[in-house]
Amino acid sequence: MPYNDITKTLFYDKRIIISTDLPEPLAWRISKVEPFAHRGNILYTMKQDVYDAHHDFIERDDDGNIIGMWADYYKETNLPSEDSTQPDPSSSGNYAVITFAGAEPHIKVNGSYKKITITYYNSDEQLNDQTPGDWSYWIDDTEIPDLIKVVATESPNTIKIKFLGDEEYLGKSITIKNIRDEIVAELQLQIVAL
């Protein structure tokens, strides 16, 4: 494809829909990007993916003709449940929030490291003391310390983690917990394929 403002936004693991002449559209996932294979061109390798009506969207006009197609149009959000241990930031007192680097709350089976950061607050103000508590990693109700490789960073409240499990864990979520004194914070990352 020609290298331009549109094609340069297509990156590894991005899903797109490019086939619609079947009873159900076909989705594709970019599995390899070679940006300058030939001057002015970009080479993509794609693998077929499953169309997901819960996340993908096909827009049709009044006559039923397709006028737009979007993969991953509907994003999942990990909203805390009422019994979640993640504190309500609007409440008074100390609490912590765990964030991740990247666009999606995913971690790949034997993929690259994912940067995780914990930040502490009192009401809505960030605390100066950002010394982290104890990290732990869970799938369902089972702690999985042997399936997570942790690398420290220059910041004491930031770590990089890598998931060492295999494909049997695909579709499950890792719950990352941090406990410091009475402050408990959690983050969930969905396990996806490389």
- Per-residue pLDDT tens listing for the chain (194 residues): 887 777 777 777 888 887 666 666 788 888 887 766 556 788 888 888 877 777 788 777 888 777 778 887 765 444 333 333 444 444 557 888 999 887 778 888 888 899 999 988 887 788 777 778 899 999 988 999 999 999 988 888 899 999 998 888 887 889 999 999 888 999 999 888 77
Looking at the domain assignment, is residue 60 inside a domain? yes
Q: Could you tell me if 113 and 158 are in contact, meaning their C-beta atoms sit under 8 angstroms apart?
A: no
- d(CA 164, CA 187) in angstroms, rounded, equals 18
pLDDT of 39: 67
The pair of structure tokens assigned to 175 is 């719950």
Domain membership of residue 27 (yes or no) is yes
Segments forming the whole domain that contains residue 33: 7-70
15 with 48, same domain?
Answer: yes
153 within a domain of the structure (yes/no)? yes
pTM exceeds 0.75, yes or no: no
Here the CATH number for the domain that contains residue 171 is 2.60.40.10
User: Which amino acid is it at 18?
Assistant: I
Identify whether 59 is part of a domain. Answer: yes
User: Are 132 and 181 part of one and the same domain?
Assistant: yes
Strand partners, 135: 178
- Sequential DSSP letters for the chain: -B-STTGGG--TT-EEEEE-SSSSPEEEEEEEEETTSSTTB-EEEEEEE---TTT-EEEE-TTS-EEEEETT-SPP--PPPTT-SS--TTSSSEEEEEEESSSSSEEEBT---EEEEEEEEETTEE-S-----EEEEEETTEE-GGGEEEEE-SSTTEEEEEE---GGGTT-EEEEEEEETTEEEEEEEEEE--
What is the per-residue pLDDT across 54-92, written as a single tens digit (0 to 9) for each? Answer: 778 877 788 877 777 888 776 544 433 333 344 444 455
Does any domain span residue 112?
Answer: yes
